Amino acid sequence: MPRPARTPAAAVVVATAADVSSVAPVAPVADEPGSGSSAERSLRLLALLANEGRALTLAELAAQLGLPKGTAHRICTQLLATGFLARDVDERSFSVGPALRKLAFDTLNHGVVRGLRHEVLSELVRQVGETCNLTTLDGAQVLYLDRVEAQWPLRLTLDVGSHVPLHCTASGKLFLALMPKKERDALIDRLPLERMTANTLTTADALRAECDAIAKGGYSRDREEFIAGLVAVAVPVRDAAGAVRAALAVHAPTARMSMDEALKRIDALKAAAEKMSGLL
């Protein structure tokens, strides 16, 4: 079994997800003329953070939302208390919290659309003959949204909801490579780059070079970098606006699938990613 990914030392400081279900509801904030209801302002603030994809300071939140700093501060304080916001490492900025991540995860894995995504994944496994997974970026880690196992006696098992590192997995390196360069460089500087195998990239320069190559090629490879004897390839899943929202990957033991054989499955992965893009 693989070692679970460690939370990066510089990752966002958050409450545990187990605490989410027991938190109290957000206390109301007194309405202010022209600024919308307290609920609307809270939702607008969360939507802004989710859309930005980075931590924002109180001043940035207030300015972009057109709110007085005092009002923005009260909203942030209450959303922090309920886990929908989290303090970033510098303590002056705010980022998406565990309660909001859980809400997004539950939404993506609920109902008819989730079933349609799972069917796309199942069909992909039937085509390529190996285990495939759908993942997304969750802070400084990769989050498994869905997974379909191939029917082989030798296989790796990772449950939906599991996290794996960015720097040594096909999906993780893909997310890094397709970020804006400034954001990617800042995140790489904060990652611990722990050595998982003899092939793991453990320097920022090597990882940046790898990301440049991935961005040009449009797909990513894991050459036994996460688990010795396991290879994988991944392609992006984009939304209607072209933004990368998820990744589709296939992986298998080297005893059954070489890297060259894995690369032959890229076209099938891209076709499935195209189908998946309309189901996000």
Determine the pLDDT at residue 162: 84
**Dist. CA 88–CA 80, nearest whole Å:** 11
**Which superfamily does CATH assign the domain made up of 109-277 to?**
GAF domain (3.30.450.40)
**Domain limits, the chain:** 17-97, 109-277
Per-residue model confidence (pLDDT) at position 110: 66
Residue 191 contacts residue 179 (beta carbons within 8 Å): no
pLDDT score, position 75: 94
- Check whether 221 has a pLDDT greater than 80: yes
Interval 226-265: pLDDT, tens: 999 999 999 999 998 899 999 999 999 999 999 999 999 9
pLDDT at 25 over 70: no
Cα dihedral: 250, 255, 257, 260 (round 10): 120
The answer to which of 35-39, 130-134, 154-158 has the lowest mean pLDDT is 154-158
Q: What is the spatial distance between Cα 48 and Cα 62, in angstroms, rounded to a whole number?
A: 11
Tell me, what's the pLDDT at 44?
93
| Listed residue (10, 213, 254, 226) closest to 135, CA to CA | 226
Q: What pLDDT, on the 0 to 100 scale, is given for residue 92?
A: 84
> Is pLDDT of 66 > 50?
yes
Structure confidence at residue 89 as a pLDDT band (50, 70, 90): low
How far lies 26's CA from each of 29, 72, 81, 146, in Å?
9, 14, 8, 31
CA distance 42 to 37: 9
Tell me the pLDDT tens digit for each residue of 29-43. Answer: 444 444 468 899 999
Q: Is the pLDDT of residue 211 over 70?
A: yes
Percentage above 90 pLDDT, the chain: 56
CB 168 within 8 A of CB 141: no
Q: What pLDDT shows up at residue 55? A: 83
Q: pLDDT value at position 26?
A: 38
Phi, psi of 94 (to 5 degrees): -120, 145
In this predicted structure, the answer to whether residue 27 has a pLDDT above a threshold of 60 is: no
Does the pLDDT at position 280 exceed 80? no
Whole-number pLDDT of residue 36: 61
CATH code of the domain occupying 17-97: 1.10.10.10
Q: Residue 54's pLDDT is what?
A: 79
pLDDT at position 174 is 98
pLDDT for position 115: 83
Q: What is the pLDDT of residues 176-208, one digit of tens each?
A: 999 999 889 989 998 999 999 999 999 999 999
pLDDT band for position 12 (cuts 50, 70, 90): very low
Which stretch of DSSP H or E encloses residue 95?
A: strand 93-96
Please report the pLDDT score of residue 154 as a whole number.
59
Kindly report the average pLDDT of the chain as a whole number. Answer: 83
